Structure formats: C-alpha cells, structure tokens
Amino acid sequence: MTLPARNATLFFWIATTLLAVLSLLMWWPALTTPFWGDDYVFLHAAHATNATGAPWWSDFWPSSPPRFWRPLSQEGYWRWIDASLGGSAHGAHAISLLLHVLATLGVALFAFRLARACRWSHTGRIAALAGAVYGGLTMHLLPVHWAAAANNALLTLFTTLLLAAWVSARDATPLLRFALLASLPVVLALALLSKESAALTPVLMLVVAAFIAVRRLDRGELVAWLACVAVVALWLVLRARFTANTDASYELRLGSNVLRNAASFGAWLLNVPREAMRMAVAGERIHGLAWIAATALPMLAAWAIAGWHGRTLLTRWQWLCIGAFALLAYAPYFLFAWNSYEYYAAIAVILPVIVLVRCVATDRVALLVAALVAVSSWIAVEGTRRLDHPGLIGRAQWAEATLQALEPQRIATPLYVSVADEQRFYAIGQMGLAWRLGLPPEQIHVARECPSSGPCLVIEADGRWRWRHAAE
C-alpha cells in the first residue's frame, strides 16, 4: 500500500470512529427525557389492557378500532414497556436508544451487502461510515427522545434487514438463497405491523434491484417479490378492517400542501430540524433562518463534496435510481394535509447516505465529510433540546416539571382543567394527568373555561398554573 493510500485509510477510520462516538454522545442525553404527549396515552392504555389479563395476540386482532394499527410497535410494545419495565421513562428511552443503534447497524449491513452486490471496493469502509453517518442524522430526534415514536426505528431496522436479504440473495448459495428469499415476506410483515409506510417496500425493492443491475428478476426473485406484494395487499385489507378514521392532519390531499411538504423534504435531507422551520415561519424569523443556515450549509457541503468526488463512480442510471428511491420512500408524506416531521425521511435517506459514503470511501476527504455531518447534527439536536416552548423537547420538560409539582398535592375528583394553550398542554394531556396523579381519565375534564363552581386547575398560556376555587 502506498503512503497516500495508507493516509487515506487512516483518515477514513478516524472519521468513522469520531462520527460514531460523537453520535452516541449526542443521543445519550435522550435517556433523561421524560414521558410526554402520546407516551401517556399508550402507557395508560397498555396498563389497563395488562390489568385485564388480555392475551398478547389481542393487540394484533383488536376488538375496537385504533387510529393506527401498529400492534408490534405501539400496542404490544407499550404492553411490554408496562409489564417488563414498570412504565419507567428511563427504561423506555434506553430501549429507544438501543433500537436507534440497531437501526443504524441495519443501515450498515444493507450498505455492506449493497457494496458487495455492486462489486465496489472497500465494502467494510462503506458499511462502517454509512452506519455512522445515518446514526448521526437528526431524522431520529423524535424516535430517540419520544418513546411513542419507537415505531420509526423498528421500521428502519426491518426495512434494512429486508433490503440486505434482497440484494444478498443474488449471489448466495442455493440453500441460503432460498432462505433469504423466503424471509422477505416475514420481515415485511414485521415492518408493516410497525408502521404503515412499509407498504412501499416492494417498490423500493425494485429500485434497489435496478440500482445494482438493469436486468429482469429471475423466477425465485419474482416469486419472493410477488409474495411481498401479497403481504402488503393482505395488510391493507386488515388495516381497513381494524382502524378508525384518522386525524384530519393525516389526510391525503392534492394542493398547496404538496409544495409545503416538498420543501420540508428538502429541509430534512439537509438536516434542518422541524423546530427551525417553524421558528422561521411563525416565530423569531431571523433566529430561525440562522439556525436553518447553520444546519443546512454543512450538510449541503457534505453532499456537494461527495457528489463531486463520486461523479464518475456511478452510472447515470444509478443516479436516477437514488432520486427515485428517495422520492418513492417519502411519497405518501408529500400528500399529508398538515403533519411533516424529520423522521418521515428516515427510509428515503438510506440509499443517498450509502452513496454519499461510497463517493468518499477511498479519499481522505471522508474526514471532512464526517466532520460536516457531525457539526450539522450537533447544531440541530442541541438547538432543539435547548429551545423552550413551543419546542417539542421544551414542552416535554415543562410537562415533567408541572406534573412533579402536582403529584404531592391531594386532588379531588372530578378534576376540571382550564387550558389556554392546547399545543403546550398536549405534552401532558388528559392521560398524563391520569397516569401521574393516579386519577381515572373519565374524572378529568379539559376545557377552555372553568365551570361556574368547584375547584379547577388553570394552566396559563405561559405554562404557569394555579388553582381556581369555588369562591373565585
């Protein structure tokens, strides 16, 4: 090995190790995040279900329609959190962090198998740095800091395992090839039971196959792919049977929302946090724009450097496949009426990240790219953590402080709560009060105004709270 080659190798492994360590340090504080928002909804429901002694399979065949049918990552997952961890927030976030690490390893495995299938050199390097880059991106801010969003890490894990098996089957021995292809519908079923967007996986499988080589699927691959399509079709039937009408913000529409969601998608690819977007639009505009620039410019530079160094490493067809993979993986979210979060791009960014690493794997510029990703991610994550209301993590910390202050008090029922800011109060919610104060949910009544008589908990718009008694 020549001296320049040895130097490039040294720089590469320094970059990978540094980014992996920084990513772990970046997510470590998530262990102290309290429960908030939907966490209490799922925790309360899981505890009530466990108390009835209902069998575990009942979550997969619900008697009453839930809003989302995600028995593996929500109902069943939370029943396990309640039964095994005693509803511990610290334990739940430790599991979320573990799932994030497993999802990152899944990306590394897929990168390794894809590199092998494409006959790229330095497959180990590509796998290691792809996992480190993916692990550091802020698409996972909420899934690591919000226990209710663990479904996203499970989706990423199962998707990458499926895609790794899909590309590995091409060159495997006959027996291993059969096992890999037979596993695809099973892993896809696990992904579908974790999150709905897994329904797009069969399309992504075709894109990945086209990325590796432009040729038709052989008989075994075609049978496995059709089996995956059949699993999705069966899941769609069951989902229609089990789920109730969803929130209006999750409706699919064709209008100006498409442009807004497309702009958000571009922001997510540049590592821009949702809180920065919200601040730039409806808050302190100058600070929001500065935050956007501080996260987007390093990431844009990383993409540009990789693209320039790797412009001749891939065919034009492969570059088209990268764009198709990202757009198709994000396809449903372009039509969402309102909601748009970074982690919706968690699957869409997988192939672009692997290609980014492929473009710098043999060059000392890998250290610069890793540093740019680290700087962008730290600014995005730490800024979101330190942002007070209406920041998501800020609301979670406010909710925890409020509940800790209320817990020692003797609270009579029925409890009436007057809420000035519903967005802030979402971090607690009716179920949060019920869980932390030990009250039946039906004895808690939330409204804009207090009733004419009786004690009432008043939560002001700035987060301060007080009791309004009957004499007021």
Report the run of H or E that residue 94 belongs to, with start and end: helix 89-117
Q: How confident is the model at residue 3 (pLDDT cuts 50, 70, 90)?
A: low
Digit-coded pLDDT (tens) for 90-135: 999 999 999 999 999 999 999 999 999 999 988 999 999 999 999 9
Give the pLDDT score at 141.
83
Give the pLDDT score at 244.
80
Joined together, the tokens standing for residue 77 give 């997952």
Strands 456-459 and 415-419: parallel
Digit-coded pLDDT (tens) for 245-263: 666 777 778 888 899 999 9
Look at residue 416 and give its three-state secondary structure: strand
- Region 424-429: mean pLDDT is 93
Has residue 472 got a pLDDT over 60? no
Has residue 150 got a pLDDT over 60? yes
CB-based burial label for 332 (10 Å; 0-12, 13-18, 19+): middle
- Region 141-161: mean pLDDT is 93
Report the run of H or E that residue 467 belongs to, with start and end: strand 465-468
Q: What is the pTM of this model?
A: 0.93
CB-based burial label for 285 (10 Å; 0-12, 13-18, 19+): exposed
Query: What residue type is 472 in one-letter code?
Result: E
Digit-coded pLDDT (tens) for 441-469: 999 999 888 888 778 999 999 999 999 86
